[in-house]
Amino acid sequence: MSPPPTTLTEFFTLCRNDTFAGTLLYSEVPTYFAWNTSTRKFQRRKQGRAVQRHLNLYSTDALGRLYTVHPNNAECFYLRLLLINVRGPTSFQELKTVNGRVCATFREACQILNLLENDAHCDISLAHMLLIQLNHSRYVHYFPS
């Protein structure tokens, strides 16, 4: 028995079966497609603003989101990074494929696509968290509860 479809696995299916969806990032899909919880599939929106040059395609202001993943959860973190940057993937394997070469890991694919900048993004994220913590400490110092 196979696991039930998820929004991610159905995104891959949608990209395989719908030419327009194959041009989208994962986070852009909710703008044009609605998730049907009973069928566990994406369906084209039936209302909204008509998309030029695309028959029966409508857009809304719906936002898609990707859950935050800590860099310590490495492969999920790099999978998320690929989903933010790669348009129209049709499978996990395709996400790991760069210039016709299947990478061993999502991290390797990110490296080849120059999405990592030598892991500087991790340093920036940590610096940002530190800055938030320092500002919070100052706030508590000046405005104790």
Per-residue pLDDT tens listing for the chain (145 residues) = 888 999 999 999 999 999 999 999 999 999 999 999 999 999 999 999 999 988 899 999 988 878 888 999 999 999 999 999 999 999 999 999 999 999 999 999 999 999 997 655 566 666 666 766 666 555 555 556 5
Q: Which residue's entry shows tokens 């990707």?
A: 66
C-alpha closest to that of 105 among 97, 113, 114, 115: 97
Q: E strand or H helix at 137, and its extent?
A: helix 120-142
Per the CB < 8 A criterion, the answer to whether 96 and 127 are in contact is: no
112's tokens: 């080849």
CB neighbour class for 9 (10 Å; exposed up to 12, middle 13-18, buried from 19): middle
